[in-house]
Structures are given as structure tokens and as C-alpha cells.
Chain A
Amino acid sequence: MSEYIEHDKQGVSVGIVEKKLFTFAEPPDEMVLENGARLGPVTIAYETYGTLNADKSNAILILHALSGDSHAAGYYNKEDQKPGWWDIMIGPGKGIDTDTYFVVCSNIIGSCMGSTGPCSTNPKTVQPYALDFPVVTIGDMVRAQKELVDYLGVKQILCVVGGSIGGMQVLEWTVRYPETVKSAIPLATTTKHSALAIAFNEVSRQAIMADPAWNNGNYYYGPKPNLGLAVARMIGHITYLSDESMRLKFGRRLQDKSDFSFNFDADFQVESYLRYQGKKFVDRFDANSFLYITKAADYYDLEKQYGDGSAVKAFAKARAKFLVVSFTSDWLYPTYQSRSMVKAMKKNGLDVSFLEIEAEWGHDAFLLPNERLTTLIRGFLERVCRENTS
């Protein structure tokens, strides 16, 4: 997602922010994961913006997607080249207004962005976990986030917001902790991956695992599987765009040349773009984390876990007010998936608003500047905030 991040056009920002760490589940009281494995200690990286009010009723939890992190808004220092990944949405006077709300963005376990994941040190071996790291689920990620929320003294969350895999965490929060979550905004997401989405993830994982440098996950002291991870990222990028956005962005234009090279250099702009994004990604992301997080997303099935296969039964547990948003050109999490969750929410008599936003940028549309999305989120939050206090 980092290719979209830019400075706020009006220069509005929450300012300098700090990444913080919270650690729990110290042995012998490890966290018992969904697959039965024990994990501890568990660290979660998080950031907060704004101030928790006296009655602790203004907390908003932001949940990030596959390659995101806890740095959703602001800058780490004055020389910082880029703000956090959702700086366009979070800040003073923005869609999620930090003058009004106390915003928490939590990293996920399994990540390589400060929380416990495969590149963290295994206390038993004092080596990186690598593949000894247990396979975590979306449910495990959310349970860890709940520990963080409790630690912060937040008893009730005004709204959980997130897109894509972050949206899966949003849905999980609403059924796992219905009494805590007052409202939820799942964006461009699904209750379960389609075979198409799993297929792309599998090809990405295969690209990593086919790289000899991957070495069964043990590469932390040697060369990294950069080629495999770069290809995985390239595949991802294709699924985040759309036919239309790629036609507009690249067409068949050539990169810095007037004719074909008749070799296997990057001739087309789209090739050059994907290579660049792939190379850039390996500098900031861990290949094993990519494997673990995509697997967690593929395993996720809210209907199976909470409703014996029925979305209606699963959402019977939810109490939150929902704003569901999809995007017309998103073919990774198409609108029909959002509509089916909306249908299940309606059948349960839940308060749900839904809009499919006309956008050409594919799945990534939720991360791009979009005045409509900003005003929708602002209006929805104002209402749930008002109804929560009245």
C-alpha cells in the first residue's frame, strides 16, 4: 500500500507520533491459539492519536491489511518522507477526526512490523521463530488486539474500521466481542475468501517457497528470498488493481523506450511498475510473515466458525451498527461478497448501511483519496457517537 501514501494536500496532520509496544502472555501464561499451540510472550505494536475522553466512549480501532502496520497516521520525525498509511483519513478534521476521537491502530500478530511474528526471537531457542512460529488465525489476531484494548483501559469501542484483511478483523471483532463494539466499518472485504482469492495467495506463497534462499524459512542469517517475495508482491499488485485502472495507468505504453527491446527486460510500463513495487517491498517486509498472514486470511470463514456455515446465524451474535462499503472495480473482494454480509445483517435486524462506491482503482480504492468515502465515514461516526451518548 505504501506506493499511495503521500503528504496531506492541506498539510493537516496529527503530527509526530510514536510506535509503542505492549507485551502480554509471558510464560507460563502463554496465549493459547486457535490451533492449540501456545505463544508467549506476545508483543503488539500500536499507535494512538487523539485523547481518550473522560467516560472512555470515543475510542476507534483501526485494523490494517496484509502489508500494513500500526503507523496509520502522522510522522515519526520531522524528516519523515511519508506519513502513516491512512493519513488521508485520520487526523484533525479528517474523516476520522482525531480532535474528537481516540484512535488506536494495532498491528497484527504474525506481522514483521513490531508485533510477535516469525521473525521475532523464539524465547526457547533464542533464534528467530521462522517456521516454528505457530500458524495464527484472524481470530487469534483479534484476541491479541482485545488484550491491547483492555490494557489501554478501553471498555467499549465506538467503531472498528478496516479494509481487506483489516475488514475481516472488523467482522471478527463484531461477532467475537459484540458487547464491546458499538459500530463497525468493514471496507472492501469478505466473510471468507473465494477460491480465486485463495488461488492468488497460493501462487504468491509458492513464489516465495520456490526461491532457494527461502531455505524452509531459515534465512534470517543469510540471503533473503527477495526474488520470491518480489514476485509474490507483483501478483498481489495485479489483484489490487483492475483492468480499467491498469489500462488508464499503463495501457501498452513502453518504459523509457520507443520500441521493443526483443529481450526480457521490462519493455512495458506495467512490467517496470511491478518490478519496482516488488523490489521496494522486500526492503520492508518479511517473506515468512507474508506466508503466515495470507494463510490466516485464506483460513478465515466467519460463517463456518460462528454459524455452522450460515452467515445469518453467524451475524446473530453481532450487536454493532454497520457501514459496509464496496468498490465497483474490486474483483478481489467483489461487491456480491459485501451484499451477502449485508443480507445476513438485515435478516438479523441489525442497523446496517451499505454503499458500493463507483471507483476505477480496484481493490486498492479504499486506500486512495476518496472524498465520498471520507464523508461517509465522517457522517456515520457522527451518528453512532451521538446515539451512543444520548
Chain B
Amino acid sequence: MNKNIDQLLGDLDSYLELNHESSPVDVEKIALEHKEKKLREIRGNSHHLKALFFAGIAVLALEPKIETFINMSVVALAVAILLWLHRKAKMQMSQIDVALSFHDFHEQRIKVTSELLNLYKSVRIVMYAVLFMITGTNIYFFLSKPDVLSFIVYLGATLLGGFLIIRNMECVIQEYKHTIQS
């Protein structure tokens, strides 16, 4: 006998284990607790960034040289730009009215996503340029005062920072591309 999707619909509740009776919930309490949880997550992330910032200051204090200052400044600037971009993206996405019909909501999301995708792509070019310049600067410092250890440490740290930032941007770009294509 041929199977049919309509024959299965009656079993959905038991399949999803939704046989219990639902009791009324305190919407306000749950919503506020959820908001607090999300804020805690954001604060947790900002603690990591603060730790990173102070680590940079400590390195600068231990090695007060122009090379250290330039490398630290470039990484700090790149991180600041990335954070600003993420914040802007989150803000624009949250401004879409979730009470719209799904069709309108989806159209709005695609519109905002295309704008953000272009912005991310532009910033990605800037990041590549900055990385290229800092590599050049480190090579210049090495040629003017050959110090293999400093050269490896500075170039390695800056390139690693740059790689992580660009990889993060690539992930967002892929996510947005998928949203637009869907």
C-alpha cells in the first residue's frame, strides 16, 4: 500500500513527545530572565576582550618599542573595526519587525543582509590591505635592524591575529551569502 504524508500527521505529537499538558507560564518573567542571560553572554565576551586589551598593554610595557606599538595598534584597530561591524549587523537585523508576515520578514532580511554583505566585503578588502602593509612594515624593521626573534614574533602574532579576524569575516560572509541565495 502506498504511504501518504497525511496519514502521518496524527502521530506528530507523540513523535515530538508532546503528550504532556502545558501549564500557564509567566511570560514576563521568562522573557526578562532570557534577556538577562543574553546580556550575561555579551558581558562574558567583553571580559575576554578586556583581558586581550590588558595583555597588549602588558606586552607594550615589557617591550616599549615602536615596532611593538605599531603591531599592537594595528591588531587593536582591526579588532575594533570587526566588533563595530558585528554590532552594526546585529542592530540592523534586530530592527526588522518580527511581527511581519513571513514573506515580508524574509524579504526584509534579504535586503538588510545584502547591504551588510557588501559592507563586510569592503571591510575585508581593507583588512587584507592592512595585513599587507603591516607585513611590509615588519620586513622593513627587520631589514633596518636585523633581529630574527623579534621579526618572527611580531610578524607571526600579527599574521595570526589577521588570519583570525579574516576567518571570522569569511564565516559571516558565507552565512549572509547563504541567506541571500535561499
* A, B assembled together: no
Q: Residues of A at under 8 Å CB distance from B? A: none
Q: Residues of B at under 8 Å CB distance from A? A: none
